[in-house]
Amino acid sequence: MPRTPKTLMVLIPVMAIHLTCRGQDGDRDGCREVESRSLADDEASPEGMTPLEVLALAGEPLETPFTWRWGTAKDEPGVTNATDDAPPGSDVTVSIRVRVERTSETARYVITTKAGNLRDQSSPNCGPEVHVPVRLHLTTSDGALAEVFEHDLIFEMWRRDSGFPDVAIIESVFAFEDLNGWLEPSWEDGKISGDLYAEFGDDKKGNIGISRVRGNEEGYDVAGYWGYYDGTP
Q: Is the pLDDT of residue 57 over 70?
A: yes
Residue 156: pLDDT band (50, 70, 90) is very high
Predicted pLDDT of residue 201: 96
Q: Which residues are CB-contacts of 77 (< 8 A; sequence separation ≥ 6)?
A: 2
Predicted pLDDT of residue 4: 32
Output b/e per residue, 133-157; b: 16+ Cβ within 10 A. bbbbbbbbbbbbbbbbbbbbbbbbb
Select from 142, 18, 123, 128 the least CA-distant residue to 72: 142
For 81-137, what is each residue's pLDDT tens digit? Answer: 444 455 556 778 899 999 999 999 999 999 999 876 444 444 568 999 999 999 999
The highest-confidence range among 23-27, 37-41, 220-224, by mean pLDDT, is 37-41
- Grouping H, G, I as helix, E, B as strand and the rest as coil, residue 122 is coil
Domain boundaries, the chain: 27-80+90-226
- 13, 79 Cβ separation under 8 angstroms: yes
pTM to 2 decimals?
0.80
Predicted pLDDT of residue 191: 86
What's the average model confidence in pLDDT over 182-193?
Answer: 76
Nearest 5°: phi and psi at 33? Answer: -70, 130
